[in-house]
């Protein structure tokens, strides 16, 4: 993201999910790994948090996992490696090569100027826009291609979510800026 155009684009969170084992005994794992919590009355999976990199994972008895909290690919892969190593040490028969992929990237962006959200709604008049200021202060804009959801705030701040790659996010942002060009 060294491109000047995207200077204020910042990855806030990367979510990845997939399969790491054929099955996992969550009670056994949570008793052996101290930062792994299991409360089946509240949630059907174990919650395992690591500090460096700061990643939270949801681990299910089916062998599936969801990772969240990473802010770049390295943090995600390092976190997954640590989790896999600790699960192996706790007796889990993990897959040789985990099948985990990014499912969502959340980014923040500052367009650098005030956005008149009412004007955006009136000018664009599209069905893929939701704006109910009594309910939520932001405008929700659903971009069809790439499939990105943008939350626009009058301050000029934008949250982009739904992309699986940073390129998806940038394409969505380019599309959005083109749409807003005549309004701002």
Query: pLDDT (tens digit, 9 = 90+) per residue, 132-148?
Result: 999 999 999 999 999 99
Provide the pLDDT confidence category of residue 3 given band limits of 50, 70 and 90: low
In a domain, 7, yes or no: no
- Which burial class, exposed, middle or buried, applies to 1 when counting CB atoms under 10 A from its CB (0-12, 13-18, 19+)? middle
In a domain, 2, yes or no: no
Give pLDDT tens digits for 33-85: 999 999 999 999 999 999 999 999 999 999 999 999 999 999 999 999 999 99
Number of alpha carbons in the 13 Å side-chain half-sphere of residue 33: 27
**Helix/strand/coil percent split, the chain, to 5:** 25, 35, 35
CATH number of 65's domain: 3.30.310.10
Cα 130 to chain centroid distance, Å, stands at: 21
The maximal CA–CA distance of the chain, rounded, in angstroms, is 60
125: left (phi over 0), alpha (psi -120 to 50) or beta: left
How far, CA to CA in Å, does 127 sit from each of 130, 131, 140, 168? 8, 11, 11, 22
Output the pLDDT for position 1: 42
Total-model pTM: 0.89
Residues 52 and 93 in one domain: yes
Give pLDDT tens digits for 119-129: 999 988 777 89
Residues 170 and 139 in one domain: yes
Residues 24 and 87 in one domain: yes
What is the distance between the alpha carbons of residues 152 and 117, in angstroms, rounded to a whole number? Answer: 8
User: For residue 74, what are the domain limits?
Assistant: 16-102
108 DSSP β-pair partners:
10, 159
């Amino acid at each position: 993201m060294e491109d000047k155009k995207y200077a204020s684009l910042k990855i806030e969170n990367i979510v990845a999910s997939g399969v790491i084992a054929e099955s996992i005994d969550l009670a056994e794992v949570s008793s052996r790994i101290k930062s792994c919590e299991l409360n089946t009355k509240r949630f059907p999976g174990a919650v395992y948090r690591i500090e460096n990199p700061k990643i939270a994972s949801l681990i299910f008895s089916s062998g599936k996992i969801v990772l969240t909290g990473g802010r770049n690919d390295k943090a995600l892969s390092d976190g997954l490696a640590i989790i896999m190593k600790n699960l192996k040490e706790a007796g889990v028969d993990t897959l040789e090569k985990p099948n985990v992929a990014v499912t969502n990237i959340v980014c923040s962006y500052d367009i650098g100027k005030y956005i008149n959200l009412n004007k955006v709604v009136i000018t664009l008049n599209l069905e893929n826009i939701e704006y109910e200021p009594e309910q939520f202060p932001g405008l929700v804009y659903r971009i069809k291609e790439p499939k990105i959801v943008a939350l626009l705030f009058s301050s000029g701040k934008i949250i982009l979510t739904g992309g699986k790659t940073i390129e998806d996010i940038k394409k969505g942002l380019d599309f959005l800026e083109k749409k807003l060009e005549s309004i701002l």
